Structure 1
Amino acid sequence: MSELQPIPDGPLRTGFTTGACATACTKAALQALILQQKVEDITILLPIGQEQSFHLSTCEFTEDQCTCTTKKDAGDDPDVTHGAIIGSMVSLNDSGKIIFLQGTGVGKVTLPGLDIGVGEPAINPVPRQMITNACKKLLSDHQLDHKGIAITIFVEDGAVIAKRTLNERLGIIGGISILGTTGIVTPFSASSYIASITQGIDVAVANGSDELVINSGARSEKNLKLLFPSLPDFAFIHYGNWIGETLEKIAISPIKKVNLGIMLGKSVKLAEGMLDTHSGKNTWNKEFVWQLAKDAGYPDELLSEILLFNMAGRLTELFSFAAAEPFYQALLKACYENCSALIPSAELVLFLISKDGAYIKYPNEFS
């Protein structure tokens, strides 16, 4: 998963999930197969009860099978699947069952802990239900209730797109997941990120890990992995800006130790008790940092410099980045108290990480 992007100003356009796109393609393909007529547009019912029309990019059929595709529109969300070609190939049989098959570009589940069983294509439960409902309605409308359907969902270049996600860490190999709980993509919504956090922790627990390394993203994780070479990839969780939600999930999981990596900009917010550290939600409080430094015993002439800074990262100009520096001890102590209260049953260790990869561990000999 890439580093988080800033939220642009102004109204943002919503889009549609991969699950909604796969449902549209499957319904169109089944309709074209039954009627032996090309489908150009199709309307589906989203889980939120809203009807939505989709335009099909292609629709090709024979007497035995049909394949339809559509281009995913994620609206103004910086979704890695925006613009992806999603498709479905369907064929009828006499089994009376609806089965899902793994197409090119859709991942396969290889680790326990997800809502989909090992060996299954990574098509999440809600999209499966959307597709199943649409197919059963069509079969019923055409007096074909006794028929079964083989459904192969595919995504063009899905394996390449998946490299920009955390799928492999979750044991989803070979492509992307077909996702969505509402059918709608809300731009810059926290829900999808928080869902990936929850899944990551579930996978770690299901695979026997009782120690996690949680961090804001790829940059901090790169440095932390050097400190924990024996931990598997699935033990590393990106919290993004949602430290509170991550710790709350850990609190109800059998995790015994949490190593939390954080960079200076987020740490000054966390120290004040901001568990959502997004710059669009919370800005760093210079007065709070000023008081923290004052209580740590720094002189007034140095304290006045804090109020002139426009970025928390500049604090290293005043305070040498070292474990013995009282400012960082006070900062980390406040972070520790805010986080440890949320996970009382787990050991917590903090790592404050500098831009050049140096770190200060807390607790330490100066604590």
Structure 2
Amino acid sequence: MTLTRSGYTLPVFACAGAIAALLWLKERKSVPSVSVDLIEPSQIVEIPIEQVSGINEGEALAITRSDPGDNLDLTRNTPIWTLVEFCQEAEEQIVIKGGEGIGRIVDASGEAAIYRYAKRLLRQNLEPLLELESKIQVTIVLPEGRSLAKRTSNAAFGVVDGLSLLGTTGISEPLSAPGHLETALAELREKAGKLSPEREENGENTSSYTQESSILVFCVGENGLDLARQLDIPPERLVKTANWLGPMLVEAIVQGVKGILLFGYHGKLIKLAGGIFHTHHHLADGRLEILTAHCAQVGLPTPALQKVFTSATAEDALKYLRDLDAQSASNWVNLVYSSIALAIDKRSQAYIRTHTEKNVCVGSVLFDRDRQIFVKSEMGYALLSALLGLHTAICN
């Protein structure tokens, strides 16, 4: 089998550039590489520095290049510029800004799309290099970010004019390579295994009964993982599935999991309502066809059906239905997406039953481009509530 090579996420290269620029300001010398503590995972790696130079007094710029490993990542080899300048009037010791090519979050007053892990990575690596009284401003620039963003789904999540520094780890796994499935399955087995002793200690019969201790949350992509963490869902329950939902569902049941909460962007999870269990767009799509079918099922008029079917994206179709509701005081969004969420649950349960001859609780929670949850299936609501300690979920 061909081995796949992991690389690093964009925040790691931005952080490496910041370290190199700060070292130049302190020591007036360039370095060929710097050590970066990834934090997640707990690992120190060496990142090459392409160039570093002073710009003005108290200002330095370093350039790195993205290396995502064998991942099918459009940022491969793109330059990352990191400008560091002393800024004693700053309110914080380290101020992080997004420059050209870093996207803006539409619904956050134009805030730069630099997320939690990237900020944590920068601060924890830079703070030990600073004197207590020193303050710096770090500006990250992606010269090719604006053009690259046009080839992503960033706009569907409310990020415009560039790329986001998103991620929960410093490692860029080859998500589309077969080896990644084994990595994902290994994580699933590890987390499922840690649930079993808890159930056995409580004397529970795992063949017919489950409480919150036997639920896992399948997060489809980084956006789902990040939002699930913001909701304070325990991290030991979270499993990132990427596009491998079919094999992951089956393996969860083999490992004794009794409840699975599917947590993801509606434009991705909708494929499961049509029986598509490998969700990469290169293999299968059908989102608008599935959405139109459910619109027809709940009685949406023909002219509106045609509008949904010819929408450019699933997000555009959702916006159209929301506008229709606002104009006519109707309830189409809830009707349509409740039907879809129920179909996701039923199709997933049927898929599992076909491959394992076992029944299991599957619920779904869907969010939109603004990372706002707008529909939960009945079982999705029960499983999410159990995870958040609101009540106990029973699965027979």
User: TM-score under structure 1 normalisation?
Assistant: 0.56
Structure 1 gaps of 5+ residues are 1-8, 112-116, 204-210, 237-254, 276-283, 289-333, 348-367
Q: Is the 8 A contact 1:24 1:42 kept in 2?
A: yes
1:122 aligns with 2:128: no
Q: What is aligned with 1:91?
A: 85
1:195 aligns with 2:222: yes
1:108 aligns with 2:104: yes
Whole-angstrom distance in 2 between the partners of 1:54 and 1:167: 27
Structure 1, residues 211-256: CA drift from partner, whole Å, max 9, x if none? 95653376423544742769854948xxxxxxxxxxxxxxxxxx77
Q: Is the 8 A contact 2:287 2:314 kept in 1?
A: no
Aligned pair in 2 of structure 1 residues 267, 345: CA closer, same or farther (>3 Å)?
Answer: closer
Aligned pair in 2 of structure 1 residues 215, 160: CA closer, same or farther (>3 Å)?
Answer: farther
Q: Is the 8 A contact 1:100 1:121 kept in 2?
A: no
Q: Is the 8 A contact 2:49 2:63 kept in 1?
A: yes
1:32-181 paired onto structure 2 within 5 Å:
32-47=24-39, 48-62=41-55, 63-95=57-89, 97=92, 98-111=94-107, 117-140=108-131, 145-181=132-168
Whole-angstrom distance in 2 between the partners of 1:34 and 1:77: 36
Whole-angstrom distance in 2 between the partners of 1:340 and 1:267: 6
1:1-367 paired onto structure 2 within 5 Å:
9-47=1-39, 48-62=41-55, 63-95=57-89, 97=92, 98-111=94-107, 117-140=108-131, 145-188=132-175, 189=180, 193-197=220-224, 214-216=269-271, 219-223=285-289, 224=291, 226-227=307-308, 233=316, 235=318, 257-258=337-338, 260=340, 270=348, 272-274=350-352, 343-344=377-378
Aligned pair in 2 of structure 1 residues 198, 135: CA closer, same or farther (>3 Å)?
Answer: closer
Aligned pair in 2 of structure 1 residues 135, 201: CA closer, same or farther (>3 Å)?
Answer: closer
Structure 1, residues 263-289: CA drift from partner, whole Å, max 9, x if none? xxx9998473249xxxxxxxx97xx9x
Matched position secondary structure for 1:106: coil
Whole-angstrom distance in 1 between the partners of 2:152 and 2:71: 15
Q: Is the 8 A contact 2:13 2:64 kept in 1?
A: yes
Whole-angstrom distance in 1 between the partners of 2:161 and 2:81: 16
- The alpha carbon displacement at 1:10 in A equals 2.6
Structure 2 gaps of 5+ residues are 185-217, 231-264, 272-278, 293-306, 320-333, 366-375, 382-396
Q: Is the 8 A contact 1:40 1:59 kept in 2?
A: no
Matched position secondary structure for 2:351: coil
Q: Is the 8 A contact 2:308 2:317 kept in 1?
A: no
What RMSD in Å do the two structures reach over aligned CA positions?
Answer: 4.2
Structure number with the higher helix fraction is 2
Structure 1, residues 52-77: CA drift from partner, whole Å, max 9, x if none? 11111121213331111111111111
Aligned pair in 2 of structure 1 residues 166, 231: CA closer, same or farther (>3 Å)?
Answer: closer
Whole-angstrom distance in 2 between the partners of 1:187 and 1:123: 22
Percent identity between the aligned chains? Answer: 23
